[in-house]
Amino acid sequence: MRLKPVLRRPWQPRHALLALPLCLIAVVTVVDILSPPEVHLGPLLVAAPAVTAAIGGAGLVAAVGALAVVAQLVVGVVRRGWPLTLNHEMQILSLAIVTAVIATFCYLRERRERELAQVRSVSEAAQRVVLRPLPRRLGPLKVASVYLAAEAEAHIGGDLFAAARVGVVTRMIIGDVRGKGLSSISDAALLLGAFREAAHHHADLSGLTRYLEGSVTRDLAELTETDQRAEEDFITAAVLEIPDHEPVIHVINCGHPPPLLVRGHHVTPLLADQPETPLGLGEFSNPSYTPDVFPLEADDIVLLYTDGVIEARDREGIFYPLAERITSWAAGDPETLVRWIRDDLLAYSGGSLGDDAAMIALQRAPTVSSLDLG
């Protein structure tokens, strides 16, 4: 007969803190018994379950409270005998009521924590499905990305990005859905799905962007049938293409903040000659979707971002000056850049963003090996 091993919970530092309320009960009990008749220290026992609430749950609070009630009963019997005086009876009743109240609040706190853990788990799963992390290498490009949710317990919102390798080119999209809540996540998921599929079936960037415009327009039209607010929705986006063998980057900007070209300590916005309307509004402007071509030399870094970055404010209400802040950054790779901006942005805004923020940094490697092109 094999004995099953006994599973023990790992020791945690908070377990040692349990000695504090237990010692408090012991000390108050002994001192109260030894004190003169006119001195009553029993009411101090209420501190034991109160302290326990900071280190344990409802069950532990109830157990410590029950131990405190027993201690109060012992004090009453030793000092006054049986039956207890009315004073000790009221002290015991008060201690029991306070313990019950504290335990109830602990239970509600634990339930809230479980709910938040479930929400966090669901949002993390949604992020992995909808907003897949970008690989660190795409052909000759080094890539880094970061997503900052405005809501503390959320991990995904209306900001989006994706990339696809198509032959000897890399295609990317970054966008921001107007609106908030589940509808914005739905719109983001639809656009990302359309991009990931269409990126491999359109020969040029213009055709790809035109397809995305049609996809978003159809989706918003369907949403309008059940939600009239969808009539005002749209998606700003920048769609890019970077060929492996040419030192250039092709950009179609659909109402999105312009990418920034970082070359040493110089930052240059890649402004479109003819900016297009956001996706979902193309029927009102008849867009041409002609790509703008910008140079992209070895070691240059292109930073893509959503308006949640540049609309973050400090305590005085001043917007985050992204381009100016980057000029003080010590040159490096895309990973260090997005981490530096993330930390600087959170410090600038006091850790509170008014909107979700997403960033992608890409850099063409100095040399292109046959492995990179595969």
| pLDDT category of residue 55 using cuts at 50, 70 and 90 | confident
Nearest to 138 by CA among 105, 164, 175, 107: 164
Cβ atoms of 256 and 236 within 8 Å: the answer is yes
Cα angle, residue 299 at apex, residues 297 and 303 outer, rounded to 5°: 90
DSSP 227: -
pLDDT of 187 higher than 90: no
Average pLDDT, stretch 198-208? 93
pLDDT of 1 higher than 50: no
| pLDDT category of residue 125 using cuts at 50, 70 and 90 | low
- Structure-token match 């405005």, residue found: 150
pLDDT in tens, 270-313: 999 988 999 988 777 888 899 999 999 998 999 999 999 999 99
pLDDT at residue 156 in the model: 60
CA–CA gap between residue 159 and residue 316 (Å, rounded):
26
The neighbour count for residue 43, using CB atoms within 10 Å, is 15
| pLDDT category of residue 370 using cuts at 50, 70 and 90 | very low
DSSP 26: H
DSSP 264-304: TTEEEE---SSPBPPBT-GGGT----PPEEEE--TT-EEEE
**pLDDT above 70 coverage of the chain, percent:** 84
pLDDT in tens, 57-66: 888 999 998 9
Return the percent helix, strand and coil in the chain, to nearest 5. Answer: 45, 20, 35
pLDDT of 374 higher than 50: no
Contacts of 11 (CB under 8 A, 6+ apart): none
pLDDT of 355 higher than 90: no
pLDDT in tens, 77-115: 887 778 777 877 888 888 899 999 999 999 999 998 888
pLDDT at residue 369 in the model: 45
